[in-house]
Structure 1
Amino acid sequence: MRWLVAGASGMLGSDAVELLRSRGHDVDARAREGLDVTDPAAVHDVVAHGGYDVVLNCTAYTAVDAAEEHEGDAFAINATGAAHLARAASAAGARVVHVSTDYVFDGAATEPYREDAPVAPRSAYGRTKAAGEWAVRAEAPDHLVVRTAWLYGRNGACFPRTIARLVAERGSLDVVDDQVGQPTWTVDLADLVERLVAEGAPSGTYHGSSSGETSWYGFARAVVAAAGLDPDSVRPTTSDRFVRPAPRPSYSVLGHDALAGRAIGAWDERWRTAAATVLG
């Protein structure tokens, strides 16, 4: 298959490109310099002449706090840009895979969010990502919307490397224990996306996160242990100690019913596999 990967220089995009090529796919990897998704003419020109079977959208404005003051900038990439890609892909007969986020939910649930649960974003980032989902569904009938959560990977800034560095520098660290989610390795998400496409999964919404759940505190302890440091150097605290411009979901656990047996493994098992690569 011939794939276009938009946002190919990012944490997810770079791993997706590597995995797809390792499985024999022909991949056109486009960083923002090579494809500005906010430019409809440029998007149309690339997609119309690319001969792609699949367009994978890994582009995103992910500065969650900055989006509170710059929602228009976030909307241009997360919503309008997604619409440009979906429209062009649909016109060219390509399948669209759009990566979204747990932030489209309100974070107030007490059990995993189903794929068809109502969206109710509480932040500018969440609103723009929810709008991007809507645009993809409207513009491209042949789509896969894949929501993920708590992504980490070897390329770019991520929670594990930050935690390991700070504990090594400071000797101890307070990490919130009242936000619960599913740490997810970018390689696992890329693998899931490729499998969904290869197996001809029906158009619709899927949740691409690890199984199980933990808090940021629990994840931090696992990270510190993998880095060869003392996990007891991580202390639990609450979100009210770290007030930020954008509200964080208290509960970001996604259900995987639509995957029908394709779900990613347990977060702690996958972290043990990923740790050496991610921490370097």
Structure 2
Amino acid sequence: MGINKVMVIGAGQMGSGIAQVFAQAHYNVVLNDLDVEFVQKGMGHISKNLNRQVEKGRMTKEEADVILNRLTPSTQLEDASDVDLVVEAIVENLEVKSKLFSKLDEIVPEHTILATNTSSLPITEIAAVTKRPEKVIGMHFMNPVPVMKLVEIIRGLATTDEVYNSIEQATKSMNKVPVEVNDFPGFVSNRVLMPMINEAIFTVYEGVATPEAVDEVMKLGMNHPMGPLTLADFIGLDTCLYIMETLHVGFGDDKYRPCPLLRKYVKAGWLGKKTGKGFYEYS
């Protein structure tokens, strides 16, 4: 099952990063979002990343231009009518994703694989809204996409070996490391990471230590490159809350109960770096 042309839906930080690594791996890429402004912002983000690589001497200006020329901006889902793979990277919401997959199922060719970059939602449930559940798969990239090597690949209940092998091969072609995991809430990465972040928030909530102290302990004591509360701010506290809620509902286990302080910050609009304030303040 050959993949030559890819549509990435969602031109935010994750989507633009995914589009960039596909384009760098010689795929023709359509970068799609609802609004021209969002797509232009995503294209600008890719251009900035590539220019940085040129400045560091990691690629030539000509090579960067060739990569950019493989990218086509789009605001119409109908532009997926001739692609071999769609990678969805929109808001982490099951209802929104399901509606999108149902629409895509009617637009894309019969052979097209539909992949979701979801960080925690069930692949099988997303696949069930399509007439091609065997061609639906999870492809969970890590942030920042151009830097991080891991891609969690998650089979739905019906995903075929042929589809899995195609996605594994595409992942390797982007110089990423595919790791197969099963379709459980949070997969591996967020099932392990988010409870740790949630517990770090509980230590602040209970007055055990300040955010600075918690992060310092984890950096110096556990050799983490970034403290869990700084990481939460970078991920987005709303995203952290949504994933914890997905784990809580999916497993029905109170060990995944989101910390009340996390809920409070999200309700206050303190979502982390993207809003300028979370556990820390950002200018």
**Which of the pair is proportionally richer in helix?**
2
TM normalised by structure 2 equals: 0.41
Query: Larger C-alpha radius of gyration, 1 or 2?
Result: 2
Higher relative contact order (Cα pairs below 8 Å, separated by 6+ residues): 1
Normalising by structure 1, report the TM-score. 0.41
